[in-house]
C-alpha cells in the first residue's frame, strides 16, 4: 500500500457516555464531531465524506444542519451491534480506494433505561417466543458463559475479577459512566440478574457519541498530524453452528464457531501480525463473561487459560495484555452506535500516550479492538503507530 | 392468548414439532413450513447443555407472563442426534441444576392462574422407571 491509500486516524472526539438527559443522541454525535475536528486541527468544510451510525437515535446525516450545509457526502449505517465498526470499515474503504483522502466516521446512540426491548417479529421469531419471556439478551449471555465455565473450568470469581478491573479502570477515564471502584465481594454477592451474573457483571444500555477523523497517510503528513495507522478493519457475520442472542435452538456441536473468530483471523491476516504482538486490547464486554470468552475467540489465549490470566492480573493495566483500559462496556455502558468507536478512541488515546491514570506503560505500539453483538456480528480493528 | 399449534404435535405422548431440511438433514426448531422442509417430531429425552435463571420480569410487550413475577429457569437441552433446543426447566431447584443431567420433555403453562394459558415446552429431570 502507498501513502495515498494507507489509512490514519488523525482526530478523535467523544461525548461522555452515560446519561445526558438534556442532549439528544444526535446532539452527542455533533459534540463528538466538533471535538474530533478540533483535535485534528481541521474545519468541517474540509471533510470530504462521512459515515454515521446510530441504532436508535435518529438519522446521523441530519447533523449536517448543525455542522454546516457543505454538501458533503454523508452515508448512514445501521448494522446492529456492529454499527460503529461498520461505519469505520466503510470510511477506511473510501480512503483505501483512493477516491477520498479526508473523512469522518461518527457513531452515537441514546437508549431507554433497562434491558433492550426487542420484539420477536423483528428477528423472524414466532410470537410465543416473546410471550414466553425469551426476548431477553441477558439470558443468552448467561447461558453461553455457563456452558463455557463448565467446559473450560472458569470460576465465578473470575467473572467478578473482570468486573472489578472494569470499574477500577473507569475511575481514570473521563468519558466513562461508572467512575468508582466496586469491591470484589460486593460484585460477587450482589443480587443475581441471570445466573451466574450479578447486577455488577452486566453493562447497561446508555448514551454517548464518538467521532474519528480519517485521512490518507499523505494527507496526514500534509496536515502535520501524528498519524495512528489503521492496519486492519474487518466485519463478519455468523458462521454455521454459532450460538447467538435470541436462539430457540442450536445445531448439534454448535456454540464454538463465532463471527468473532472470523473477524479476528481476517484482521490479523490483513495487519500481518499475530495476537502476541498486540500491546493493548479493547474487547466486547457486554458482561463479564464476554471479555473472558473473547480473549480466546480473538486468539489471545487458549480456552480455559483465562482463569490463570485473571488470577495473575495479566489483563490489568500494567499486565502483559491490558484489556478494556477505559472500563469497557461495563464501566461506560453500551450506546450501540457509539460503542465500537469508543474502543478505537480509547486505543488512539493509549497509542498517543495520553491515558493519564489509565495509560498502559511502555509506550504501546499496537492496539486491538473488538465488537460483538446481535444478530451475530463482529467488527475488529488493529491500530499501530 | 391461544396456544400456538405449531409447537406441539397434537397426538399423545407429548412431542415437539420441528422441521427437517430434506436435502441437508438439518433440523430446524421452532417448526416452520417451507420448500424442501418436512415436519418431524423431536425426541423426548436429552441432556442439559446449558442454563440460566431469569431473575427479573422481562419487559411487556412482548412478555405475557403473570404480573407478579417469580424467577424461572431456562435451559438448552441437547436431543441426541437431533438438535439443542431452548426450553423452561421445571420440577427442580435452581441450585440442583447441572449441565449434563438427563432430562425429559414436559410442558408448563405461561400463567398457571389462567385457564388455556400458552403451553410452553419444558424439561424436567428424567424420572427413571422403578426397577
To which H or E segment does residue A249 belong? strand A249-250
Res B1: pLDDT: 41
Contact (CB<8Å) B83/A251: yes
CATH of A7-113+207-230 given 2.70.70.10, 3.40.190.80, 3.40.718.10, 3.40.47.10:
3.40.47.10
Chain A contact for B28 (CB, 8 A cutoff): yes
Does residue B81 belong to any structural domain of this protein?
yes
Q: Which residues of A touch B33 (CB under 8 A)?
A: none
Backbone φ and ψ for A229, nearest 5 degrees, come out as -85, 140
**ipTM of the complex model:** 0.94
Which of A43, A269, A270, A289 lies closest to A160 in space, CA to CA?
Answer: A289
Same fold, A7-113+207-230 and A132-203+231-384: yes
| Assigned architecture for domain A132-203+231-384 | 3-Layer(aba) Sandwich (3.40)
Mutate to test the interface with B, among A139, A249, A287 (most CBs of B within 10 A): A249
Q: What's B90's domain CATH number?
A: 2.40.50
Res A225: pLDDT: 85
Does residue B98 belong to any structural domain of this protein?
yes
Torsion of CA A161, A135, A245, A82, to 10 degrees: -90
Q: What whole-number distance in Å separates Cα of residue B72 and Cα of residue B74?
A: 7
Among A128, A142, A247, select the one facing B52 at the smallest CB separation: A142
∠ CA B33-B37-B43 to the nearest 5 degrees?
95
Give SS3 for A76. strand
Q: What whole-number distance in Å separates Cα of residue A65 and Cα of residue A68?
A: 6
| CA Rg value for chain A | 20
Q: What are the residue boundaries of the structural domains of chain A, listed by start?
A: 7-113+207-230, 132-203+231-384
Extract the C-alpha cell encoding A17.
Answer: 457516555
**Binning pLDDT at 50, 70 and 90, where does residue A109 land?**
very high
pLDDT reading at B5 higher than 60:
no
**Binning pLDDT at 50, 70 and 90, where does residue A5 land?**
confident
Does residue B9 belong to any structural domain of this protein?
no
Res A29: pLDDT: 98
pLDDT reading at A1 higher than 60:
no
Backbone φ and ψ for B19, nearest 5 degrees, come out as -120, 150
| CA Rg value for chain B | 16
Percentage of residues in chain A having pLDDT higher than 70: 99
Among A133, A138, A249, select the one facing B29 at the smallest CB separation: A249
A272 vs chain B: nearest CA distance in angstroms?
Answer: 37
Omega of the bond prior to A196 within 30 degrees of 0, cis? yes
Chain A contact for B30 (CB, 8 A cutoff): yes
Does residue B104 belong to any structural domain of this protein?
yes
Amino acid at each position: 500500500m502507498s501513502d495515498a491509500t494507507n489509512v490514519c486516524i488523525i482526530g478523535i472526539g467523544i461525548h461522555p457516555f452515560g446519561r445526558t438527559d438534556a442532549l439528544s443522541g444526535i446532539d452527542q454525535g455533533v459534540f463528538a464531531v466538533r471535538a474530533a475536528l478540533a483535535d485534528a486541527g481541521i474545519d468541517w468544510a474540509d471533510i470530504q465524506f462521512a459515515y454515521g451510525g446510530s441504532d436508535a437515535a435518529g438519522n446521523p446525516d441530519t447533523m449536517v444542519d448543525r455542522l454546516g450545509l457543505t454538501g458533503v457526502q454523508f452515508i448512514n449505517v445501521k448494522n446492529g451491534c456492529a454499527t460503529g465498526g461498520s461505519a469505520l470499515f466503510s470510511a477506511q474503504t473510501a480512503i483505501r480506494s483512493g477516491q477520498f483522502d479526508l473523512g469522518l466516521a461518527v457513531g452515537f446512540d441514546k437508549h431507554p433505561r433497562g434491558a433492550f426491548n426487542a420484539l420477536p417479529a423483528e428477528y423472524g421469531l414466532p410470537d410465543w417466543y416473546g410471550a414466553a419471556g425469551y426476548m431477553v439478551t441477558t439470558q443468552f449471555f448467561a447461558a453461553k458463559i455457563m456452558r463455557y465455565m463448565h467446559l473450560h473450568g472458569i470460576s465465578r470469581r473470575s467473572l467478578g475479577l473482570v468486573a472489578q478491573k472494569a470499574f477500577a479502570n473507569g475511575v481514570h477515564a473521563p468519558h466513562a459512566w461508572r467512575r468508582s471502584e466496586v469491591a470484589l465481594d460486593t460484585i460477587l454477592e450482589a443480587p443475581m440478574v441471570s445466573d451466574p451474573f450479578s447486577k455488577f457483571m452486566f453493562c447497561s444500555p446508555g448514551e454517548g457519541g464518538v467521532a474519528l477523523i480519517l485521512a490518507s497517510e499523505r494527507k496526514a503528513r500534509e496536515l502535520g498530524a501524528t498519524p495512528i495507522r489503521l492496519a486492519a478493519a474487518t466485519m463478519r457475520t455468523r458462521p454455521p453452528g454459532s450460538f447467538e442472542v435470541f436462539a430457540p435452538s442450536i445445531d448439534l456441536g454448535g456454540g464454538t464457531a463465532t463471527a468473532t473468530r472470523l473477524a479476528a483471523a481476517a484482521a490479523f491476516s490483513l495487519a500481518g501480525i499475530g495476537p502476541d504482538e498486540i500491546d493493548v486490547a479493547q474487547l466486547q464486554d457486554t458482561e463479564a463473561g464476554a471479555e473472558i470468552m473473547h480473549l480466546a475467540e480473538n486468539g489471545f489465549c487458549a480456552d480455559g487459560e483465562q482463569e490463570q490470566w485473571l488470577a495473575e492480573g495479566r489483563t490489568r493495566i500494567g499486565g502483559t495484555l491490558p484489556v478494556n483500559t477505559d472500563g469497557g462496556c461495563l464501566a461506560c455502558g453500551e450506546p450501540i452506535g457509539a460503542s465500537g468507536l469508543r474502543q478505537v478512541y480509547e486505543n488512539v488515546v493509549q497509542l498517543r500516550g495520553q491515558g493519564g491514570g489509565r495509560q498502559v506503560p511502555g509506550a504501546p505500539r499496537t492496539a486491538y479492538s473488538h465488537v460483538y453483538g446481535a444478530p451475530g456480528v463482529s467488527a475488529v480493528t488493529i491500530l499501530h503507530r | 392468548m391461544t396456544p400456538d399449534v405449531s409447537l406441539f404435535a397434537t397426538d399423545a405422548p407429548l412431542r415437539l414439532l420441528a422441521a427437517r431440511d430434506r436435502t441437508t438433514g438439518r433440523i430446524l426448531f421452532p417448526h416452520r413450513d417451507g420448500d424442501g422442509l418436512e415436519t418431524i417430531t423431536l425426541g423426548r429425552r436429552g441432556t442439559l447443555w446449558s442454563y440460566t435463571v431469569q431473575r427479573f420480569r422481562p419487559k411487556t410487550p412482548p412478555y405475557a407472563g403473570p404480573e407478579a413475577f417469580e424467577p424461572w429457569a431456562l435451559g438448552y437441552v441437547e436431543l441426541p442426534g437431533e438438535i439443542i433446543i431452548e426450553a423452561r426447566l421445571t420440577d427442580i431447584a435452581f441450585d440442583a441444576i447441572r449441565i449434563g443431567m438427563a432430562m425429559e420433555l414436559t410442558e408448563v403453562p405461561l400463567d398457571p392462574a389462567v385457564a388455556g394459558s400458552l403451553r410452553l415446552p419444558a424439561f424436567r429431570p428424567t424420572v427413571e422407571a422403578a426397577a
